[in-house]
Amino acid sequence: MKQMKWFLRLLGIVIAGILAINWGQGVTAHAAVSGNGIYQVPVKMIKENSNATSDANQFFGNQAIVRVSGTQSTVLLTSNGEQYIKSMKVSGQTVTLVKKVDSQAIYQFNLTKQTSPLTAAFQLTTPVGAMNEKARLTLTWSAAKKLSSSTATGDLLTQATTLAQAAATTSSQSSTASSASTSSSTNVAPKESSSTATSSAETTGVTVQTKYWKYQVLKSDQMSLSDANKYYTGIARVTPADGGGYRVTLMVSYAKSLKLGSETVVPKSIDGQTIADNQVTYSEMGKNYTMVYGFNIARTSDLTRSLIPGKIHVTVPVMSISETFPIRFQFAASGAPTQAQATAVPTLPKKSTSQQTADTAATPTTPATSTTTRKQLPETGEQPSSAAAYGVVGLLAGILLLWGGKRHV
């Protein structure tokens, strides 16, 4: 009996200790935001099943603005990933887009308890297709910093806007510094030699100048636009090549703010020609990364004889994507002497699958004239005369086809 009493007494002490610790922690966490007002609270995205930092964290600011009014907390998050987020939920509650500030977006959700971590679910819209992602959002309530005793909605939004503006300014300064450091070597297009510009091509003795050709990018198995079409500039530069024939140069462009790096996409082949690494030029133009590559044709009529197949390898570590995708290029019926005139060419003709097959069968394939590997591609950096020419920015990483399935960020 005596041993039983000692056991019960010891058990009571242990239980009391556990309750005291939990109560003490609860008081500490609550005390940090015990009064009404507007607070700045550290925030972080962690993985769904561990405390490791989620890849989604890079798209959100590290501070949240929180209004505490009684038991109700209104949380405002800043994000630079608004272009990807179709919808977002935190603890099952739909998050609302409140305002955009330059490159930043402000999102809002409400809480009735100051708890953490919170489940987070995203529906993303990317050029590689719709994606469903999950993570957890942590709010470090114990490190909250009180900014104001006000609980007015206007004051809450002002604080969030200030935070977003600071984030946008930091991003802009970083981009400007990077651009300035590389402008001398990457933002100046290579000059085209006069001998190349005036070399003879299809007809001996006839001087042929550079022309610009409108094109669009189609899916590999359907006569419809590929998602890649949104990221290619849509105007190719066709230049007489050394040794005869022509060099067709293509350009793609995407925003540095996407933080995908300068070599997210690597062209593998086009028109049956393998693209070597030294035939691809990666560069920068203002706030964009650009990629330039090309292929050779024997005559300009090769551009319109049939659709031109190509393959591009896409690497996006944040989405665990590393695949080679097939696409096809469809060129306009004729070229133009300037980019502006090429841009004004009417919409490219549509061909049915049966028409395309007949065209291909009726005209034998003419091998492209082989040339020695060029150390530098022809000039492609002329200033755009139309937004349609080079105004395309976006997520180059997602050039093709829908990427189905569910991943955990």
All structural domains of the chain, each given as residue ranges with its CATH number in brackets, are 31-165 (2.60.40.1850), 206-408 (2.60.40.1850)
In terms of pLDDT, which residue wins out, 327 or 384? 327
Residue 170 has pLDDT above 70, yes or no: no
Lowest mean pLDDT among 162-171, 213-222, 294-303: 162-171
- Cα dihedral across residues 46, 49, 52, 53: positive or negative: negative
Torsion angle (degrees, nearest 10) of CA 352, 358, 362, 364: 70
Average pLDDT, stretch 36-53? 94
**pLDDT the model gives residue 18:** 52
Q: Are 39 and 33 in contact (CB under 8 A)?
A: yes
Q: Are 296 and 369 in contact (CB under 8 A)?
A: yes
**pLDDT the model gives residue 227:** 76
**pLDDT the model gives residue 287:** 82
Residues linked to residue 406 through DSSP beta bridges, in sequence order: 132
Alpha-carbon span 135 to 329, nearest angstrom: 39
pTM beyond 0.75, yes or no: no
Residue 228 has pLDDT above 50, yes or no: yes
**pLDDT the model gives residue 392:** 33
Alpha-carbon span 405 to 403, nearest angstrom: 7
Q: Looking at the chain, how many residues does it have?
A: 409
In terms of pLDDT, which residue wins out, 33 or 105? 105
Q: Which two tokens stand for residue 157?
A: 């939004």
Strands 37-46 and 63-69, sheet pairing: antiparallel
**Interacting residues of 162 by C-beta distance below 8 A, sequence separation 6+:** none
Residue 30 has pLDDT above 70, yes or no: no
Computed over every residue of the chain, the mean pLDDT equals 73
Q: Are 226 and 273 in contact (CB under 8 A)?
A: no
Average pLDDT, stretch 302-321? 85
